[in-house]
Structure 1
């Protein structure tokens, strides 16, 4: 009866789409720089084989260098300098004309697909050099043992078959990042914890592991940031809200937006990283049966480059589409003054939107994005869950508190699926990291029936309750 009543709550999330409000002066000053870059830095590779803009340095420069090596391997040699100019664009146009492609000078998905070849240990030449550049190893054009090791490490980190063969899927992942991830994704389990009488059944079955004390402590700041998103927005500007002053500090406030029917959000810098906090809804209106349909993701603009057959909760995607342009701009400005680390945090509906935002930022920006999603509902179809896993790897933690029914909505029978990275609080109060997607050992389990929402707001480690506390 409770679920039925929730599903019949009135539509509120997507009734109106007001523009995000209250963008700070820092964004106004930087708008031209970040929204209208020079033409030579605006080349994009999107779709089956691409991710983000070809920038002039960092990962962008690596992608350009790789394309220049590929052009040379296909008989259109250019200077390999990591800079995109008329020579490189002209070589792409010439290659496209000979390959029967649209000759626009832009190395898009079809062009990249024609430029790359399958390579493995023993291969040589410019195609190998391109892969080596993207793997961040010496680009000597010789696929030897060192390149093979780098390839298998990269494949493992991206959830691909670690066979050392660079085929289409591996090329796609390589053009989506500039270096191998530092650690494995959450569905690659480490050694089992030693059992004890209190060890959860999921751990004994090899389906999960206990969180360490340090990992539990690391959740304090993300939890505070998510809780602070519920405070009055004016309290964010000087970090004077109740959860703000009792939580982690920051060095500069960059922007906030939303209001009305659009979830509020903020972007701050704490010196070590950029933090994006997204407010959850006042109620559970997002589960309304009329907005719980799966909506195919638009490719224009392409917020999720390289994604295939992605479908998202209609209400979540509509709200995301409204807030992501301003959030992207604020994050870019903040990154220019903070280290290249981004933390995205939110609770409930805010956690769902945080998942979309974190995945989009990771796919499009040269930075390392970490997601801490507290009590998130499902956001999309299995293709979406797979895309999130491939994009964020083990930097996704979605916290499920005991038998919280919200994390089991919308239902899998409606075509939804959770990502990997579930961190579940057992009935005995232990927090465990569950392997894979929709583990039947953890959370609600794939065949479970929603039972309640009493644990939806916490507590989360170390003892954080969602909501501002002291303010509405």
Structure 2
């Protein structure tokens, strides 16, 4: 199976070489020092992303990653690690920050893999297509479908936390599929939370999420508070393809090798990960899990380390749990509901949602499209 994937990656990157983004690119890069990495807080944020793989039944067992974020309180979890990828909401007292972490694709869970295949750009759901949204924004249908399953649940948990720590900032992060979902989640939170809320989104191994209009919209909305980190020759950030109508927003940080890390100006900077050769990409699948600043992604990084659970819920379930640590009040009660009446979900433009299919297979289909275009 791996050999087939590598062949398809090779063909996809051949096609990629004949494509170019639909807006001007900036070629400038800036080498990042260890001090720069620390000032951008990328090590701790990578640990928060890695932790999303380790949330099960309200337990956070994230091995070495937990040691980098020791005072974090797990507030809310949901997901079945399959059709609904795991997501957590947590609070860090030392950072005074609410963290939303989204799990990535686990190839061992077939439904999780199936969440990514529907790769054609599609209009935004009504819930995201609010006043002020530019005309023509389109996103990956599979990513949007996976995101909407937990979006309002996450919003409810964040709002409850924010009511108790109103000056806290918000960090949304994830890896792989989780990085794509985290970008959509950050947009949703930006739309729904008070306008003075500081929201940062950082993705690791993020695939392309939307079309050029979407990429420009993200740049306008987040500026330098959107970052996506690419590990070496990881091919995942290069799918879906530019030729299929997808484009990254700005904010790339490329871990080129063990000694060189670059901050990349503009969208689809040709001097960053877009410059990798097809042979490197074909053998770079293992780079997708990292390491990212010393942090590895995936379930293999999890261990038996527990962290206090404040709220844990599943769809249509009401849960109340005692809070054992300041600054929270005595109890929090969260009504977990998938479709609150005050937030419309359906997409009037594109109709009802069906279950999308799979990120690994998405790469294969992208590659086949590449062969057709090249020929």
1:276 match: 100
Distance 1:470 1:251, change over 3 A: closer
The CA deviation string for residues 45-67 of structure 1, in whole angstroms up to 9 with x for no partner, is: xxxxxxxxxxxxxxxxxxxxxxx
Match of 2:89 among 267, 274, 280: 267
Distance 1:416 1:424, change over 3 A: same
Distance 1:403 1:301, change over 3 A: closer
1:363 match: 191
8 Å Cα contact 2:51/2:61 also seen in 1: no
The equivalences for 1:281-430 within 5 A come to 281-283=105-107, 285=113, 290-300=117-127, 302=129, 305-338=132-165, 339-366=167-194, 367-427=197-257, 429-430=259-260
8 Å Cα contact 1:297/1:311 also seen in 2: yes
Distance 1:337 1:351, change over 3 A: same
CA RMSD in angstroms, aligned pairs only:
2.8
1:454 match: 286
8 Å Cα contact 2:57/2:77 also seen in 1: no
8 Å Cα contact 2:83/2:115 also seen in 1: no
Say which structure is richer in strand: 2
Distance 1:252 1:300 in 2: 29
Distance 1:295 1:269, change over 3 A: same
1:195 match: none
Distance 1:459 1:244, change over 3 A: closer
Match of 1:208 among 29, 36, 44: 29
8 Å Cα contact 2:28/2:265 also seen in 1: yes
1:258 match: 79
The CA deviation string for residues 110-166 of structure 1, in whole angstroms up to 9 with x for no partner, is: xxxxxxxxxxxxxxxxxxxxxxxxxxxxxxxxxxxxxxxxxxxxxxxxxxxxxxxxx
Distance 1:298 1:280, change over 3 A: same
Distance 1:325 1:280 in 2: 19
| Per-residue deviation, 1:429 | 3.1
Match of 2:272 among 428, 435, 442: 442
| Per-residue deviation, 1:335 | 1.3
* Local SS of the residue matching 2:286: coil
Between structure 1 and structure 2, the one with the greater Rg is: 1
Distance 1:326 1:232, change over 3 A: closer
Distance 1:287 1:301 in 2: 19
Match of 1:231 among 54, 58, 62: 54
What TM-score, normalized by structure 2, do the two folds share? 0.66
8 Å Cα contact 1:6/1:285 also seen in 2: no
What TM-score, normalized by structure 1, do the two folds share? 0.53
Distance 1:287 1:439 in 2: 28
| Per-residue deviation, 1:301 | 6.0
8 Å Cα contact 2:55/2:86 also seen in 1: no
| Per-residue deviation, 1:326 | 0.7
Distance 1:298 1:429, change over 3 A: same
| Per-residue deviation, 1:323 | 1.2
1:2 match: 5
Distance 1:299 1:232, change over 3 A: closer
| Per-residue deviation, 1:251 | 5.2
Identify unmatched segments of 5+ residues in structure 1.
8-186, 190-205
Match of 2:263 among 429, 433, 436: 433
8 Å Cα contact 1:305/1:363 also seen in 2: no
Distance 1:4 1:447 in 2: 14
**How many residues end up aligned between the 2 structures?**
272
